[in-house]
Amino acid sequence: MKKASALIIISLLLIFSHSNEGLAGGIPLTTNDVLTAAINSNNSPLDVLSNDNSGISNDNFKEVVAVCAIGTSDLDCTNNSYTDGIGTVSVNGSGNDNNVLFASNHNQTHTFEFKYLMQNSANNQSAGTVNLTLTYFEVNSLNDGAENGCDASDCTLREAMTAAENDNQASLINFKRDMNGTIALNNGLVVNSNDLTVVGTGADKITLSGNDLFRVLSIPTGTERFSLSGLTIANGQTPNQGNGGGILIESALETRLENIRVINNVAENNGGGIFTDNAGLVLINSEISNNTANNQGGGIGVSGGFGSDVTIENTTISNNQATDAATSGLEINTTFGQTTTLRFITVAFNQGFNGVDSSIDGTGNIIIDASVFEPGLAITNNNNVTNNSIFQSLADGSIFGDNNLTELGSVLNQSLVEINDSGLYGHKFGTGDLPYNHVDDMFGTASCGNQVTTDQFGTPRPIDQSCDAGAYEYIFIDVIFQAGFE
């Protein structure tokens, strides 16, 4: 199926049908429970008010449970997907964990209409309809020239981001499918849109380079939602004691980074690869390697803020360095009211000393699950719940949980290699090594095979009886069948 092209500009007409506010039980449905303007193609999550983002939790949720054609009765609207032949909308999952996804196989302006049903914890339902117009643009140039507008003949990433900024709608930027190469930036990119998704063709296909002159990407205060995937961020440089050589996130509400490489960046201060300051972040299925900070957090630096939760999952943080070498890999300083979750991550072979290369401090909540730290971690934050994890060395603090291993010999293969032709690099191990089958779902929140269904490189979890700890899931490959018979 041919994917929609680059920048999708979305306008929505939201019409709410009947409301069952008077029904008892659960949280009543109201006219505010409508789809927000965040529909985009390429199967990106569609924001739904009260779908996990409203502050409503536990049993008191309101979720989209069915989609169908306009004109369908509520009783007959029971499907989890609907298409008009061009656009497709689907409900993926159930309860608090569901997402509403939209995809398109078209490359021209198209009007897509559908009906949806929402349901609360008492099984009360109410319906709404959506009418949306999609206008398509495509990034088709590796240049970074003057901002002359984005059209079918010439559209740079900077021009597409400017178009998204001026549109004042939730927008998606895709790249032409066969694009491959480096965008050598003339100056750093700044996100100035409230709701923007940028989807590259793969971390091994498109590289954004700061030319060792300036930071590659800034996500500033006021950004509500930003998502980036399928790219490499490289060769960023921050002058004047700046933070975040590759990516700087400052007081932004929601940032999601997925399937990206952040490599060979330098920060004059903290966070050689990525620095986040009082900002929400989800970093998943990614590689942060060979970055440098002249202070702390050679790979990643996190400075906490109340309510600014950070999740790092299925990610390798490796071969980074910092002047303060004890935090050459990962430096996290949390604050009260912030939760930081580290799940299925590998932090390894960063240039540390005294047996550690990463540090977690502060007073916020820390959740560590199914992760590997080599050479180790210094953790002075006692608000940690740690399960299923492996620390070659543990210093300056204590961990609280079950099924953890500490004070060990070598755990991983030191070579950083590409795995599964994914364009992402990580550390392998074998069936005789400690991470293999280490995760026990009786403890913690690893959610092996449930919420976390693959490793960083796309291998299903679990392959064997249990999940492996860290970003890599071991899979046996028969070399004879892989190479073929002669």
Measured torsion, CA atoms of residues 311, 313, 315, 319, in degrees rounded to the nearest 10: 50
Amino acid at 96: N
User: What is residue 162's three-state secondary structure?
Assistant: helix
The pLDDT value recorded for residue 34 is 37
Cα separations in angstroms, 478 against 394, 419, 437, 458: 37, 15, 20, 18
Residue of 197, 195, 253 whose CA lies nearest to 221: 253
Nearest CA to 29 out of 128, 171, 115 is that of: 128
Q: What is the pLDDT of residue 476?
A: 82
Contacts of 183 (CB under 8 A, 6+ apart): 142, 143, 144, 156, 157, 206, 207, 208, 209
So what's the pLDDT on residue 263?
98
Q: Which of 209, 198, 192, 195 is nearest to 175 (CA)?
A: 198
How many Å apart are CA 128 and CA 116, to the nearest integer? 6
CA distance 27 to 430: 50
Q: Which residues pair with 378 in a beta bridge?
A: 359, 395
Torsion 239-245-246-251 (CA) sign = negative
pLDDT score, position 117: 83
List domains and CATH numbers for the chain.
7-134 (no CATH), 177-406 (2.160.20.10)
Helices (H), 85-224: 157-167
Burial class (CB in 10 A: 0-12, 13-18, 19+), 16: middle
Q: How many CB atoms are closer than 10 A to CB 85?
A: 8
Spatial separation of the C-alpha atoms in residues 44 and 63, rounded to whole Å: 17
What is the Cα–Cα distance from 317 to 315, expressed in whole angstroms? 7
Helix H or strand E encompassing 28: none
Count of beta carbons in the 10 Å neighbourhood of residue 179:
18
Q: pLDDT tens digits, residue range 244-261?
A: 999 999 999 899 999 999
**Of 187, 191, 195, 242, whose CA–CA distance to 216 is shortest?**
187
Distances from the Cα of 127 to the Cα of 18, 55, 68, angstroms: 6, 22, 11
Cα angle value 33/132/78 (rounded, 5°): 55
Q: What would the two tokens of residue 479 be?
A: 């070399």
- The pLDDT assigned to 148 comes to 75
* pTM of the complete model beyond 0.85: no
Amino acid occupying residue 303: S
Alpha carbon separation from 181 to 141, 203, 261 (Å, rounded) = 10, 10, 14
Q: From its phi and psi, is residue 465 left (phi > 0), alpha (psi between -120 and 50) or beta?
A: alpha
Secondary structure letter of residue 454 according to DSSP: B
CA distances from 258 to 197, 198, 199, 311 (A): 11, 10, 9, 12
- Cα distances from 90 to residues 80, 261, 369, in angstroms, run 5, 30, 31
pLDDT in tens, 35-92: 432 333 333 333 333 333 333 344 444 577 888 999 999 999 999 899 988 777 777 6
* Residue ranges in the chain whose pLDDT is less than 70: 1-62, 92-110, 121, 132-137, 146-147, 167-170, 325, 352-355, 477-486
Phi then psi dihedrals of residue 276, to 5 deg: -120, 130
Residue 430 burial by CB count (10 A; 0-12/13-18/19+): exposed, middle or buried?
exposed
Q: What angle do CA 462, 466, 470 make, to 5 degrees?
A: 75
